[in-house]
Structure 1
Amino acid sequence: MLDWRSLPVRLAATLAAGLPPDSRCMMHLAGQKLPEKTLMDAAAVDALHRIEWRLIGCPGSRPPDSILAALTDPDTGGTGNVQSFDSPEDFEAALAAMKGG
């Protein structure tokens, strides 16, 4: 991988000028975590879910969760019971404990 900090400024600017908007560099410069197409797709699915909920859903029920919010906001991401392990042995021990063994 090319270290852009070691390049002359004019060359780095020339190389960056031709990047598409959904490249990792351009998304980082724009402050985006996901490509725009993914965000638009999630917004469209959210709109369809809301329409379906209004037409078919029960009047007292909760509206559907937003996919766009789950993708963009880490607080609503639904990572409630995600665990990580430092070694395969830790994972196997937790799996055995979960299975009751």
Structure 2
Amino acid sequence: MLDKSQNVECPNCGKNTVIQSQEGIYRCLSCNFERDFSEEPQLESGSGHSLFWASVVAAFLGFFVLQASKYIASYSPDADYQSSSTPTAAETQID
């Protein structure tokens, strides 16, 4: 069964000469590239799960870093209350 009704570009040579030679099997007439689409491609085991868990861990780490920075900022002295080595105008007034 040769089906030329679809205009499919070959991923190998780039020409529009791909035909369906059998059920689920596509072949390029120019370079003889062939691919079987009748079966689902097999993913690496756990590849999707590892990305998910890496994202979860990164989100938790980001959350805890933000909370720690808020905690540190709330207990650090402000710039207004820090002592300076040079006296201010109010401190140098002589009566």
TM-score, normalized by length of structure 1? 0.31
TM-score, normalized by length of structure 2? 0.33
Q: Which has the higher helix share?
A: 1
Structure 1 or 2, whichever has the larger Rg, is 2
Q: Which has the higher strand share?
A: 2
